[in-house]
Amino acid sequence: MGFNSLAQTIFSGLSNGALYAFVALGFSLVNRSTGIINFAQGDLTMLGGMLTAVLAQAGVPLWIAVPVAALACTLVGAVFYQFAIRPARRATMTQLTIMTIGLSILIRGGVVTEWGSDPLSVPAFSGDSPLHVLGISILPQEVWLIGALLAMLLASAWFFQRTMLGLALRASAANPIGASYMGIDPAALGLVAFALAGFLGGLGGAIWSPIYFAQVDVGLGLGLKGFTAAVIGGMSTVWGPIAGGLALAMLEAFTGGFISSSWQDAVLYGAMLVMLLLRPQGLLGKAKPAGAADQEPSTSTRVRRVSLSGNEMGLLGGGVAMVALVPLLFGDVGVGNGIFALIMTIVVVGLVLITGYGGQLALGQGAFMMIGAYSSGCLTVRFGWPPLAAMALGMLLSVLAALALGRVIFRLHGYYLSMSSLAVLMICLTAAREWEFTGGANGIPGIPPFSVGGLVVASDAAFYWLALACAALAGFGALSLARSRVGRALLAVRSSESAARACGVDVVWLKSQVFAFSAAAASLAGSLYVHYLGIANPHPFGVDASIQQITALTVGGYMLLSGAYVGSVVVVALPAAITWLAGAAETQSVAGLQNVCFGALLIALIIAQTSGKWRNVGLPVSLRRSLRRVPVWRRAS
């Protein structure tokens, strides 16, 4: 490779890196001042690009369109904080993070509904003719992007080091309670942080859009890469995210250049996992002082426990019975949708334990579903294994994978599981698409129906009962876990991790085991899915599925196993209802509407559950009320 092409690779990496750095800066700004991992950061960036494109196509000059787009994103960030995050006063960090997921799909759905999902072109700020410097060709727009990044960098360095507001943000990040005693209002700072994050996203997206195109699909990938950049560089300094963004883009450019562009993303997310394993504080981050681990997290201790009374057993039984009635009441349509709802229930039951009880937001359950799906698919089709054995092997593999991942992730304090599980999902999706063994994008067709011994589950109705049996098994298994010393230990860890450890609880091992349970459940669900459809392909296990599972969890109530059934039914029924209501409208805007509905539902439900104002709004709250605390121990009195 000559000097020129090497330099060209580095330079094209540099401009991508500048964009990732923009996203990563927004991430770390929000994370440092509020502790929230803002999933909507990538979509805010996408929104900036889309707005610029739409305004430019409407004939608005760029020098107006770009600032307007950036300010609109600033407004979105500020409004979201003021009217969603702030009212949710009693929300746990998990719930706040889920709200940002809600914003993310709300933006995505809104953009698709309004402007479609086709790429829009944006004219460059100052022409398209490349400049030639030292034999490298440079687009003027790339110079704009890098220049803007440098300007932002200087501005944020000045802001954090020289202004009172910057000082207040840093103080509040270090010690929110102490800072509030000094007269610093953490809510005002959160507003500033979210507004600035929106501004950074909007500006970055607006300047970047002429280089590629503005389109809706880039949001998720940008968000994940921005987070990866923040992890690689370290979030504790302003320079960390920038260095991380550049490092990530270099890695991406060289992977694309030397290995294969289709494996690019897998390599990047793999790098994030390796980084979390080896140097969780990031390249430039400072390691926490030794005593820091002893500090208690300020949120998440506020959750009141939903008591595990005998009623939960009854409710769970009621949930199973209710679902059992579906084929009788709704006929064939009910059976088909019911099977999907039951398969989702199995996944959500696992989430109740790891996310509800464990407080760890798992977004990559699709990865374990894929392990189950492809184990069943490959082993039955290629090697003629009996379905039950293939399913069991898939569950075993998922358990081992979850234990291994848990060992890495749960050592870290904070909310790393959400993003890293998503990264694992992206790696699995890439692998399934690119690997010949898994059949590529076409997948593995011709999977036989499920059978045990000579008994073949051939008809839809029979499969419905099989899925119901599995869902009931998962539900009651999870219930016995929740009521055992495992559930008690999970609640204890959430109240005070240091005290739980002092009681002898191996926190990493405990969470890993529970994560493994949720992985086994997801793997079971994946196996069932492919036996029902007869084909295994990556499509049904992507990020959309994760968002549906999280929505079902939120609808059902985080700590209610019976809620898993209710939530799954709602999530399966909602799109059907939307399609029905939207009538003959084209499918694309229906998909957009679905995202808008799910996003709005997530945000509204969490506000209702945690604001303390509308206590009787929402299914989970009324369900919770119906549970009365029954003391575990009555002999004392």
Partner 1 sequence: MTVATTNDPLLSVANLEVRFGGLRAVADVSFDVAAGEMVGLVGPNGAGKTTTFNVVSGVLSPTGGRITFRGRDITGLSPDQVARAGVTRTFQNVRLFSELSVFENVMMGSCATEPTSVLAALARIGQHRRAEARSRDIALHWIDRLGLAAYASMPAVTLPLGLQRVAEVARALAGQPRLVLLDEPAAGLNPTEKARLSSLLRDVVRDSGCALLLVEHDMPLVMGLVDRVIVLHFGRQIASGPPAEVANDPDVISTYLGA
What residue ranges bind partner 1 (CB under 8 A)? 289-291, 293-294, 296, 301, 303-305, 477, 480-481, 484-486, 488-489, 491-492, 494-496, 498-507, 510, 513-514, 516-517, 631-637
Residue type, 121: S
For 132, phi then psi, to 5°, come to: -115, 115
CA atoms within 13 A on the CB side of 387: 22
Within 163-217, residue ranges assigned H as helices are 164-174, 176-181, 186-208
* Cβ neighbours of 110 (radius 10 Å): 20
Q: Which is nearer to partner 1, 288 or 382 (CB)?
A: 288
CA distance linking residue 159 with residue 631, whole number of Å? 54
CB of 376 to partner 1, least distance (A): 22
Tell me the closest approach of the beta carbon of residue 491 to partner 1, in angstroms: 5
Q: How far is the CB of 281 from partner 1 (least distance, A)?
A: 17
Q: Which residue's structure tokens are 């300010």?
A: 71
* Identity of residue 27: F
- For residue 214, the 8-state DSSP code is B
Q: How far is the CB of 607 from partner 1 (least distance, A)?
A: 22
Between residues 286 and 382, which has the closer beta carbon with respect to partner 1? 286
Which two tokens mark 534? 């007869």
Tokens 């996944």 correspond to what residue? 347
As a whole number of angstroms, the distance between CA 18 and CA 41 comes to: 15
Residue closer to partner 1 by CB (options 46, 491) is 491
Query: With respect to partner 1, which residue has the nearer C-beta, 282 or 406?
Result: 406
Minimal distance, residue 362 CB to partner 1, in Å: 15
| Helix, strand, or coil (residue 592) | helix
Smallest distance from partner 1 to CB 203, Å:
39
Residue nearer to partner 1 on the CB measure, 337 or 513: 513
Q: Exposed/middle/buried for 484, CB within 10 Å: 0-12, 13-18, 19+?
A: exposed
In this complex, which beta carbon is closest to partner 1, that of residue 127 or of residue 631?
Answer: 631
Closest Cα partner for 20 from 43, 49, 42, 50?
A: 42
Locate 115 and state its tokens. Answer: 């402007």
What is each CA distance from 42 to 216, 533, 637, in whole angstroms? 10, 33, 56
The least CB distance from residue 311 to partner 1, in Å, is: 16
Of 134 and 636, which CB lies nearer to partner 1 in the complex structure?
A: 636
Residues 6+ apart with CB under 8 A from 224: 42, 269, 419, 422, 423, 426
CB of 500 to partner 1, least distance (A): 7
Nearest approach, Cβ of residue 525 and partner 1 (Å): 17
Helix (H) / strand (E) containing 76: helix 62-80
Rounded CA separation 377/38 (Å): 36
Of 218 and 510, CB closest to partner 1: 510
Closest contact distance (angstroms) between CB of 173 and partner 1 is 22
Give the tokens for residue 215.
Answer: 């389109």
Nearer to partner 1, 181 or 633 (CB): 633
- Dihedral sign for Cα atoms in the order 610, 615, 620, 626: positive
The C-alpha torsion from 165 through 168 and 172 to 178, rounded to 10°, is -150
Contact at 8 Å (CB) between 342 and 324?
no
Shortest Cβ 452–partner 1 spacing (Å): 20
Question: Judged by CB, which is closer to partner 1: 211, or 408?
Answer: 408
Closest to partner 1 by CB, 162 vs 304, is: 304
